[in-house]
Structure 1
Amino acid sequence: MDLHLTNKLALITGSTKGIGKAIAIEMAREGTNVIINGRRQTDVERVVNEIKSMFPDTNPQGAAIDIADEESRDKLFKQFPAVDILVNNMGIFEPMEYWDIDDATWERFFRVNVLAGNALAKFYMPKMLTQDFGRVIFIASEEAIMPSGEMPQYSMTKTMNLSLAKSLSKLTVATHVTVNTIMPGSTLTEGVQKMLEDMYGGTDIPEAAWEADFMKNHRSRSQIQRLIRPEEVGRFTAFVASPDASSFSGEALRVDGGLVPTIF
């Protein structure tokens, strides 16, 4: 299926691994010229080279920049003054007890998970509106609408993503620019793999059974009873980023495996 993304320029933040990397790969598969972002130059170059090898007709580029830092963002804006697609994927998460979360931690999660993406949207959206095409996508989580209580500082920021995207969508009325949020459920990223190792590494449960046990005992409401794979989120994001996804904006789109038990 041709999503008409050939030669579009897409910035995917936090794209050296996990969901972000999967999004970049799936968009490059559709002919998109992707900008790989991460804090380490070596990681960025590795993924750029990998994508160029996989999809030689595209022109992947790197942006080894900490987008949570205002000074570094200015460098990004000079290097890439305009993009067709912005995927605000970069974020941090960590299970924490509410009582242990100090104000500095609340502020750090807000700065990284909300303010960084907002700054990018504020910079790139006016140019999208001028050219009358653009996509802004926030990658949130089912935690945005169904907080588990395992990491309240993270859930708060993901709910903010939904509100911010809805507000920004109001600025695009009667244009071909859309702003949406995608909410993946529990996904088998490198971080989640490490979490499973920490949870089960010292138990008698064999590694092959870790995923099933985790879903049964910690994500029992999931209808698919497995962890979502990053490429599944990547394929869906590529569609939402495409010109074909022109009939919705301001939406909170769920890719959670049926984990959220409500219709709305």
Structure 2
Amino acid sequence: MTIMHIELKDRTAIVTGSTAGIGRAIAEGLARAGASVVINGRSQERVEATLRQMRTLLPNAILKGIVADVSTAQGCAALIASVPEADILINNAGTAHPNGFFEQTDEEWLDLFQTNVLSAVRLSRHYLMKMKANGWGRVIFISSESALNIPKEMIDYGVSKSALLGVSRGLAELVAGSGVTVNAVLPGPTRSESLSAWMAESAQEHGISPAQAEHDFLETMRPTSLLQRFSTTEEVANMVVYVASQQASATTGAALRVDGGVVRTIA
């Protein structure tokens, strides 16, 4: 029996928005597989804290921290200037918050798209060309099951994640046959820093435990979940690390769900 061993030594990986949550777990997973990993965040304090934590966990890992707000063109340019080439780009930076569609302004829609969509577009535009020239590369967009099940309380978020699916598939078509793959990964409800904080607030508001708040969320907001619990950030990261590997060389142009079966489709 052949046991799959993912080896990313000599590969450089950039993970945007990687000081917490899914991005942090992806960065650690890639580092454990041997990749040199670029940690990115908007705050010097959080980037440095993440580097300290990961160096304690993985003393032999090759890590670099870049403070840059990739929701802006200037922030993307700063990241590119610090790391001109990469073998693996994980477009993870994103934000979400409940809102009312009828109360939202154009500026709020545009701000969210700058973070969730245009950050990925700008960075892919730079790094993908270099990957294509080198004959190998991986670009992975962190989308969401909300791209397929648009939540009425966060329509802007769902639409932005749908947009990532379109960009991902289009770029896969653009680099066909080059040795570069482009894919999207769609997490479902995940026990990340942001969603856990939301559950803690809900628990406090209703006088229940965070575990009960999580259960109630799934029952009312994601009743189609087959997992019937939140995924862990590590479970999402495991999919991303695989897709970033040589073993996933025949997977491209795909939307890969780690949603706990929330989306009711077999395709």
TM-score (norm: length of structure 2): 0.96
Q: Does residue 99 of structure 2 align to residue 92 of structure 1?
A: no
CA distance in 2, matches of 1:173, 1:249: 9
Deviation, 1:201, is: 0.7
Contact 1:129/1:175 (8 A) holds in 2: yes
Specify the alignment match of 1:76 in structure 2: 79
CA distance in 2, matches of 1:263, 1:214: 24
> After the TM superposition, which of the residue ranges 63-72 and 211-220 deviates more from structure 2?
211-220
CA distance in 1, matches of 2:113, 2:217: 28
> After the TM superposition, which of the residue ranges 228-237 and 67-76 deviates more from structure 2?
67-76
Give unmatched runs, 5+ long, in structure 1: none
CA distance in 2, matches of 1:206, 1:116: 36
Question: Which among 41, 44, 51 is matched to residue 41 of structure 1?
Answer: 44
Q: How many residues align?
A: 264
Q: Does residue 232 of structure 2 align to residue 239 of structure 1?
A: no
Q: Secondary structure of the equivalent of 1:180?
A: strand
Question: Which among 12, 15, 31 is matched to residue 15 of structure 2?
Answer: 12
TM-score (norm: length of structure 1): 0.97
Specify the alignment match of 2:214 in structure 1: 211
Deviation, 1:80, is: 0.4
- Provide Cα deviations, 1:191-226, integer angstroms capped at 9, x if missing partner: 111111222212232334222222222211100100
Q: How does 1:174-213 map to 2 (within 5 A)?
A: 174-213=177-216
Runs of 4+ in 1 over 3 A off after TM superposition: none
CA distance in 1, matches of 2:208, 2:44: 38
Q: How high is the sequence identity, in percent, across the aligned residues?
A: 37
- Provide Cα deviations, 1:161-185, integer angstroms capped at 9, x if missing partner: 0000111011211121000000000
CA distance in 2, matches of 1:132, 1:197: 46
Q: How does 1:1-264 map to 2 (within 5 A)?
A: 1-264=4-267
Deviation, 1:83, is: 0.3
CA distance in 2, matches of 1:232, 1:14: 18
Matched residue type, 1:37: N
Contact 1:142/1:260 (8 A) holds in 2: yes
Contact 1:142/1:256 (8 A) holds in 2: yes
Contact 1:24/1:34 (8 A) holds in 2: yes
CA root-mean-square deviation: 1.1
